[in-house]
Amino acid sequence: RRRLRTTNSVERLNEEIRRRERVIRIFPNRASVLRLLGALLMEMDEKWATGHRYLDMQEYWVWRASKASVVKQLA
């Protein structure tokens, strides 16, 4: 849910579907469409799961804990 703040990701997914659909043009049956969409969604899920994080919260929590311990020592 955190990644769906804007519709950019949804629009990007729709563009990817359209781009791949243009290559194939005519699908022989419904199952082939579902296979294509399933493969595309699995690919996108892999990218999201293993993708680069812009902000690693672990570093922030370590910094915050060290700051809290310094404040306790001063008090």
Report pLDDT digits (tens) over 36-64.
999 999 998 888 777 766 667 788 889 89
DSSP per-residue codes, 33-53: HHHHHHHHHHHHHHHHHHSPP
The two three-digit tokens of residue 41, written as one number: 């969604």
Report pLDDT digits (tens) over 5-44.
667 878 888 899 999 999 988 899 999 999 999 999 999 8
For residues 75 and 65, give the distance between their C-alpha atoms in angstroms, rounded to a whole number: 15
- Nearest one of 20, 55, 58, 53 to 39, comparing CA atoms: 20
Domain ranges of the chain: 8-74
User: Whole-angstrom distance between the N-terminal and C-terminal Cα of the chain?
Assistant: 40
| Res 2 pLDDT > 60 | no
Number of residues that make up the chain: 75
